[in-house]
Amino acid sequence: MKGLVALLLCGLATGAAAADGQCNRGKAGVLTLADWKIEPAGPEIADVRVTLTNQTGKEIRLIKGTVWFKDALESAASGVPIEPDALRPVGGSNSQTKTLAGLARYGRIARQDVMTTVCVESAVYADGTRATFP
């Protein structure tokens, strides 16, 4: 639980401008968010499912990044860490679900009032090459 709280606080602190199509750290457009769903799992926690699609033209075997959520009023962004070990084929999609604090409200507000950005910091491709996105 301590790790979850630390992760949430880190995400809130670093993501203030991340969900507007811009990344504070990393690059947008490496993965795209095909779909997302947030359902309450307790008073202040939620099950967050994101489906990501590989846009690189290369199979990804490891990745470091975050899916950021922000509301239309531009309040502080909340982030969902991307599962680093999920194999991502070229043009393929995969889903991940995490239970996190701080994101429950995004499941309660209208979907059109939620902005999202996927920021990727680095990736290792199936051929062994590595890309780092400042």
- What is the structure's pLDDT at 19? 55
CA dihedral 96, 28, 74, 17 (to 10 degrees): 110
Cα–Cα distance measured from residue 34 to residue 117, given in angstroms and rounded to the nearest whole number: 11
pLDDT digits 0-9 by tens, 1-17: 444 333 333 343 334 34
- Read off the DSSP letter of residue 74: -
pLDDT digits 0-9 by tens, 107-131: 889 999 999 999 999 999 999 999 9
Cα–Cα distance measured from residue 30 to residue 93, given in angstroms and rounded to the nearest whole number: 12
- What is the structure's pLDDT at 1? 43
19 or 117, higher pLDDT? 117
Q: Where are the beta strands (DSSP E) in the chain?
A: 27-28, 31-40, 45-54, 60-71, 78-81, 93-101, 114-125, 130-132
